[in-house]
Amino acid sequence: MWITPDIELGDWEITEQFVRASGPGGQNVNKVATAVELRFEAARSPSLPDSAKRRLRHIAGRRWTREGAVVIQVSETRSQARNRTIARARLADLIRRSLAKPKPRVKTSVPRGQRRRRLEQKKRRSAIKALRRSEEDLD
């Protein structure tokens, strides 16, 4: 399965298991296993660089198992082939997102005008509260 022109996943890295789906489908839902459970052995994959594996683990979240596999479950349609296509597309999207290096954050300082406005607001608020105080409170 091709992810990018540089990255191809081997057949041994991906396993698919078809299970019965819940939801609408009438009597057919009890007979046909249309939902797909796609499992990608990400931690053992020689196709992905280590940095991409780390980002994939973060992006995958709960779909990442202790064994280092990404599990994607799809039961959107009543067609086994369509669910399989959707699952493979989601996996490819996850991997493409993990390949993109995040842009480093550039630390900025608070603008001078913003600091000035904040201090003026504090002075106005202080003046309002000062007017509420009686002379007895000041003693």
- Calculate mean pLDDT across residues 13-17: 80
**What local confidence, expressed as pLDDT, does residue 129 receive?**
92
- State how far the Cα of 41 lies from the Cα of 123, in Å rounded to an integer: 60
Strand residue runs (E) in 20-82: 35-40, 70-74
pTM to 2 decimal places: 0.65
The tokens 């091709």 sit on which residue? Answer: 2
Residue 100 identity? A
Q: What is the pLDDT of residue 28?
A: 66
pLDDT tens digits for 63-122?
A: 888 888 889 888 877 788 888 889 889 988 888 888 888 899 999 999 999 999 999 999
Sequence-separated (6 or more) residues with CB below 8 Å from residue 102? 55
List CB contacts of 44: < 8 A, sequence separation 6 or more: 13, 68
Q: Do the strands 70-74 and 14-19 form a parallel or antiparallel pair, or are they unpaired?
A: unpaired
Contact 28, 21 (CB under 8 A): no
